[in-house]
Structure 1
Amino acid sequence: MQVKELERVARQIRLRDLQAVYDAGAGHIGGEMSAIDILTALYFRVLKIYPSEPRRPDRDRFILSKGHTACALYVTLAKRGFIAEEEISTFLQPHSRLNGHPNCNKVPGVETNTGPLGHGLPVAVGVAKAGKLTGAGYHTYVMTGDGEMQEGSNWEAIMAASQFNLDNLTLIVDHNRFQQGAALADTNNVAPLRPKLEAFGWEVSEINGNEMAQIVPALEHRSTRPHCIVAHTNKGHGISFMQDRVDWHHKVPNKEQYEQAVAELSEAL
């Protein structure tokens, strides 16, 4: 897909994600909205994937380390053909396989279980290292939150990726500046991220992570080193009253807010 079409698909995914969270009465909508443009670019442009063969050995790998934003991943997987779009209506319902955090044993297209923060990047380093050891041609992508980068396990993984020269690994940091309960700056401010990653031997790109024309070339870039994309995004992007509001990390809109958000996202379509 080209940029304009990707933008249109991202707006559709935002709208369906909003509806799913509202119907379920739970979710992490703020961080989902910040990440959806990147997810769209990955699944509809960048990743070499096969919805009818989700475990095909030569597929590219994507790990959503910020697993609490699972609903956005489910909607993206459904739109890409991994699961039926009708199944999104079961999100968080009893016996549904669409849990609050992604489960690779239940949902096609999910590479590994995530939820406890600080685990996805270490797993991705192992996946990328395995690719190197076996001579496989796949590329591994992983998305973390910026608050998640406070976890020490991530920095151990960053050091290992550099040591092993994992040029088949791309880390995307969803840098929306807010985490649960507070702004990143008021918690344990790991920003600026670029000089820290560069000090560990990584190549680093900084982009507007809600601007598709910047996202696509950054994701398609290939380096001779591990590559980190610091994606500057907006929490709650696309919905005026949610944007850059910490309380929308884990909150569900009421009826009036839902109708306003639907109107705003539908207008953009």
Structure 2
Amino acid sequence: MTRPADHPQQQHSAGPRLLGPAEVRSLADALGVRPTKQRGQNFVIDANTVRRIVRAAGAGPEDCVLEVGPGLGSLTLALLEVARHVVAVEIDDVLAGALPATVERFAPEQADRFSLLHADAMRVTELPGPPATALVANLPYNVSVPVLLHLLEHVPTLERGLVMVQSEVADRLAAPPGSRTYGVPSVKAAWYADVRRAGAVGRNVFWPAPNVDSGLVAFTRREPPAHRSGRAEVFAVVDAAFGQRRKGLRGALRVLAPVEQVERALEAAGVDPLARGEALDLQAFVRIADALHDLRQEGQA
């Protein structure tokens, strides 16, 4: 099947009219909207940027795309050019109330392929419409990591995605073990997916222009490592290991178990007790969590 994006002239003639600086400011003025730092709102005002994001995401006519924080609809309209269905999750009352009318105005032929969920993305566990296969979003920067991890956990049909986040956060999400930016987001994201940097976005494509750089992060879903413990137990080890970064694991993990148990677990997992969290990959954290789990089971026997 030929993707609509492969024939931009044909597609755009019948597709949505995208938002530029004038349209974004006009919509905002009509709604009395002023972007707020509290909700991390920075509206994209460049049509080329949103088309670039959609291309990089690989969204196509078979996809139901989940978008979080659609704002005034810049990325939403670009997604409707190519996707089978778009579900937008918006927490802001005014923006959520206005978005369906914006879609009807700028993309009347695609309006039946759009659904809105007026909700906090951190509380979403079910979505309207067909099962979401891709996440494509300009995530609010102040909650980007918690939102991404929540959706990866609660929307298991997501196969892949591309999100725009603060550049430093993008580095952390995609960081390999041993690197300066490797940490809790890196390990937890790796539990769900293969994650990679997918480019940078300039400040001048936003209104208002943020005082931080932005980056694109792509992910492809995969099964988590084999484990005897649960995800929550693995994540507890990760949190403890990075909670006191200057401590070796023998000291940092004492918040989870007595030091004797920690030492036995690290030995069983084949991990140096003096190593620090940033030196471990996901598999090592799983081995530690499994070893602690086994010791607890022994103690209860």
TM value normalised by structure 1: 0.42
Q: Indicate the structure whose relative CO is greater, using CA pairs within 8 Å and at least 6 residues apart.
A: 1
More strand by share: 2
* CA radius of gyration, larger in: 2
